[in-house]
């Protein structure tokens, strides 16, 4: 059960981190947070999060740490630059729940480093977007030890409606990259299917209803297209830059493992080559079939 004496520190208060921090507050955890942006810290404070001025302060007072950071290098940098603080807390086991879309090798290395200091590290990337983060309805795919997962479960269950333990350290990262590679592919294939319907004189809205009632359905076609593509809103909260990064990491994983993925190679090429879309654009713009030639 949530315990107001248990402190959860959230490092990274972007659209996902802030939503998770807000959820933890509503679930009665003492929640502290840090972000480089003073504006994000103010938003967190308005939501009941105690904003702290340094990452070190967050680590010092926290029993659990939730990371929501852009890259594996950011995650590694936070841990590596604060190893002295983790060493000082070696008598008090701290569990890091890293919700960033990171890299398996980085997570495995950090888990080993922290285990040597008596702490735990779970790679726990999430799916569900900012709305899921703010409502506590994320899906979390988790890599790490059963022991660390058991200790962190109250915090995880506060943030996620579904928490799937995939395997040992790094497994959560692999599952997330597989998921996002498929989502990237579905965005393109659904767009092309609707483009074909339009070219053949069929109303794309009608074609999409058929897809979503038949075997061509995906979450992208069922949720993203009606909500953000067909409406021309393009504001899902997940950027082109982040999806490009995830597709690039999936390709890197395929290359390193020797997996032969010819279609995924083409998907990666299309996402990397969409020069008309900036990294700051919403990733759902990749599905804007009416604007494509």
Looking at residue 292, what is its pLDDT? 44
The answer to whether residue 2 is domain-embedded is no
* Domain termination site, one of 125, 141, 168: 168
Question: Quick one: pLDDT band at residue 247, thresholds 50, 70, 90?
Answer: very high
Q: Indicate if 150 and 11 belong to the same structural domain.
A: yes
- Can you give the CATH number for the domain in which 146 is found? 3.40.50.720
Looking at residue 3, what is its pLDDT? 59
Looking at residue 4, what is its pLDDT? 62
Q: What percent of the chain has pLDDT over 90?
A: 95
Summarize pLDDT for 95-130 with one digit per residue, the tens: 999 999 999 999 999 999 999 999 999 999 999 999
Summarize pLDDT for 146-160 with one digit per residue, the tens: 999 999 999 999 999
How far, in Å, CA of 69 to CA of 64, rounded?
16
Q: Indicate if 141 and 238 belong to the same structural domain.
A: no
Looking at residue 176, what is its pLDDT? 97
Summarize pLDDT for 30-87 with one digit per residue, the tens: 999 999 999 999 999 999 999 999 999 999 999 999 999 999 999 999 999 999 999 9
What average pLDDT does the structure give for the chain? 96
The answer to whether residue 133 is domain-embedded is yes
The answer to whether residue 1 is domain-embedded is no
Judge whether 176 counts as a catalytic residue: yes
Q: Indicate if 19 and 155 belong to the same structural domain.
A: yes
Q: Indicate if 134 and 24 belong to the same structural domain.
A: yes
Structural domain including 111 reads 7-168
**Can you tell me the mean pLDDT for 245-251?**
96
The answer to whether residue 286 is domain-embedded is yes
* Domain termination site, one of 138, 168, 198: 168
Q: Which residue has the higher pLDDT, 2 or 26?
A: 26
Count of domains forming the chain: 2
Looking at residue 290, what is its pLDDT? 82
Residue from 137, 162, 176, 195 carrying the catalytic annotation: 176
């Amino acid at each position: 059960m949530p315990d107001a004496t248990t402190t959860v520190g959230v490092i990274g208060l972007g659209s996902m981190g802030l939503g998770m921090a807000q959820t933890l507050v509503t679930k009665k955890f003492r929640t502290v947070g840090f972000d480089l942006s003073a504006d994000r810290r103010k938003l967190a404070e308005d939501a009941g999060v105690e904003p702290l001025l340094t990452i070190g302060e967050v680590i010092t007072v926290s029993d659990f740490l939730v990371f929501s950071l852009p890259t594996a290098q950011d995650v590694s940098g936070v841990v590596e630059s604060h190893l002295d603080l983790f060493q000082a807390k070696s008598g008090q086991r701290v569990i890091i729940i890293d919700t960033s879309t990171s890299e398996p090798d980085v997570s495995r290395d950090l888990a080993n480093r922290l285990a040597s200091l008596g702490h735990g590290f779970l790679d726990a990337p999430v799916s569900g977007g900012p709305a899921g983060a703010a409502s506590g309805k994320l899906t979390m795919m988790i890599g790490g030890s059963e022991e660390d997962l058991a200790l962190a479960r109250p915090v995880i269950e506060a943030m996620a409606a579904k928490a799937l333990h995939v395997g040992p350290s790094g497994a959560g990262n692999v599952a997330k990259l597989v998921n996002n590679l498929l989502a990237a592919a579905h965005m393109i294939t659904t767009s092309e299917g609707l483009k074909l319907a339009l070219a053949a004189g069929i109303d794309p809205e009608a074609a999409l209803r058929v897809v979503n009632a038949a075997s061509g359905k995906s979450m992208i076609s069922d949720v993203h297209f009606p909500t953000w593509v067909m409406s021309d809103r393009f504001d899902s909260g997940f950027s082109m830059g982040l999806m490009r990064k995830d597709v690039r990491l999936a390709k890197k994983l395929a290359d390193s493992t020797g997996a032969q993925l010819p279609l995924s190679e083409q998907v990666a090429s299309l996402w990397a080559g969409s020069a008309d879309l900036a990294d700051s654009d919403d990733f759902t713009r990749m599905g804007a079939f009416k604007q494509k030639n």
